[in-house]
Chain A
Amino acid sequence: MDDIATLLEPQIPALRRYAYALVRNHDVADDLVQDCLERAIARWYLRRGDGDLRAWLFTILRNRYISDFRQKRRRGTEVDIDAVALSIHPSQDDGLDTQDVLTALDRLSEEHKTVLLLVGVEDLSYEETANILGIPRGTVMSRLARARQSLRGLLDRGGATWLRRVK
């Protein structure tokens, strides 16, 4: 049984990071991670022996996020994703650039957020990302291109502002 802890615990920081980037609320993110871990432990024996644990965990987490969000919507307590984002206190005082990029991320669709996060932040391969999303690799590439274009567009509103800041 202890191998579960040994294998799972090193993955938790990355799961928390992905969850936080999706929901942008520390407590809600940890609820999501907890839910993901509960499921992973309950279904540990369903895991394919040769499968990639990290990709499996991200798949569970993402499915939980999507189903929670839709369930809330069905119950009529719709949470406006922008409102969620805006209600969050800044995580760190890292300056404007950090907030800019996270605020821009909040405005993207879940699909676009997820490719940017899994590939760009979590360093998952394009193949792993394709498996997590259940789409072909080629679709990951085009979705990634569109997501980066959207992010660029959002950050480019101020045009020169962004360039100046990152330089």
Chain B
Amino acid sequence: MNGSRAPIGEDDLQSFVDGRLAGERLALVEGYLGSNPEARTRVTLERQQRDALRAALQAKFAEPVPARLRVAAIRAARRRSWRQRVAAVAAALVLLVVGGAGGWFARGQSAASSSGTTTVTRDAVAAYRTFVVEVAHPVEVGAAQEAHLVRWLSKRLGRPLKAPDLARFGFRLMGGRLLSADAGAAAQLMYETDGGRRLTVYVQATQGGETAFRFRQDGETATFAWLDQGYGFAVTANSDRAELLPIAEVVYQSLDGAILQP
């Protein structure tokens, strides 16, 4: 990054400590250290301390990995917890299947892994369809009052929430609203492009463990849903899988980060 003529900087000294300099730059830094005993003492110490830290942790690295951290063991535990969830939601599944949503489960998917996300998807799509066409009152609280909106929805949801920034995809926050769901409150954040396309991020309290993303296409409406830490999340738009996936990833990362905020 530095040309060989650039003066020696702190980043050179750090790279030197890490042994990551080579060629001309290394020679320059060595020359500099040769005529600056104070700096030389400093980097020598820092190098020794770096090595001491590596040495101190080497034993931990060399330890055999405990059986519980084997990938096979973790997978087995996941399957067990899914089976428990199957039992817990069996009744609900029967109702869903009888109720005509059965086609969804007949696609060879694991019923247990999709039950929670199915509920979230269903509710998110219903909410999307209700409000995305709304012209006069698409949101209850507008983006101008974002801080208030986020505080309010977080409080009602019992979970810190923040509005993911989707500007890089052309979607800007319009605002949000509070909805009711089976297990209590749900929050819907609505986004819109300059061209008037709308996208919603939907969050509700949900039973069940965590899942990977589940995708569902209902006609033009595409949804990615997932469960995490007792909440179901869904990102819905008139879109397709390829366009929606990177957006859903950003929403996931953003909301996963939100729980860090006290």
Contact = CB atoms under 8 A, between A and B. Distances in A.
Interface string B55-91: 1110111110110111110110110000000000000
Given A46-B213, A101-B52, A145 B10 contact: yes
Given A94-B55, A151-B49, A142 B10 contact: yes
A100 B55 CA distance: 12
B160 to A, nearest CB: 10
A17 B78 contact: no
A146 to B, nearest CB: 10
Nearest to B75: A41
A63 interface: yes
A90 to B, nearest CB: 10
A12 interface: yes
Interface in B211-262: 211-213, 249, 252, 256-257, 259-260, 262
Given A41-B71, A43-B212, A67-B260, A16 B52 contact: no
B17 A34 contact: no
Interface string A90-133: 01101001111110010000000000110111000010000000
B13 interface: yes
Nearest to A4: B71
Contacts of A100: 52
Contacts of B38: none
A78 B18 CA distance: 35
A41 B57 contact: no
B14 A21 contact: no
Contacts of A41: 71, 74-75, 78
Contact of A42 (B49, B69, B210, B259): B210
Give the interface residue-count category, chain B: 35 or more
B106 interface: no
A135 interface: no
A145 B13 contact: yes
B192 interface: no
B22 interface: no
Q: Which of A21, A70, A101 gathers most chain B CB within 10 Å?
A: A101
A94 B56 contact: yes
B71 A101 contact: no
Contact of B53 (A39, A46, A105, A145): A105
B46 A148 contact: yes
B155 interface: no
Contacts of A101: 49, 52-53, 56
B56 A34 contact: no
B4 interface: no
A152 B262 contact: no
19 contacts: A8-B71, A13-B61, A16-B69, A17-B57, A17-B60, A30-B66, A30-B69, A33-B69, A70-B260, A99-B56, A102-B57, A116-B50, A120-B18, A121-B54, A141-B10, A145-B14, A148-B46, A152-B49, A162-B45
Interface of B: 10-11, 13-15, 17-18, 42, 45-46, 48-50, 52-57, 59-63, 65-66, 68-72, 74-75, 77-78, 210-213, 249, 252, 256-257, 259-260, 262
Enumerate the 3 nearest inter-chain pairs by beta-carbon distance, A residue then B residue, closest first.
A5-B71, A98-B56, A141-B11
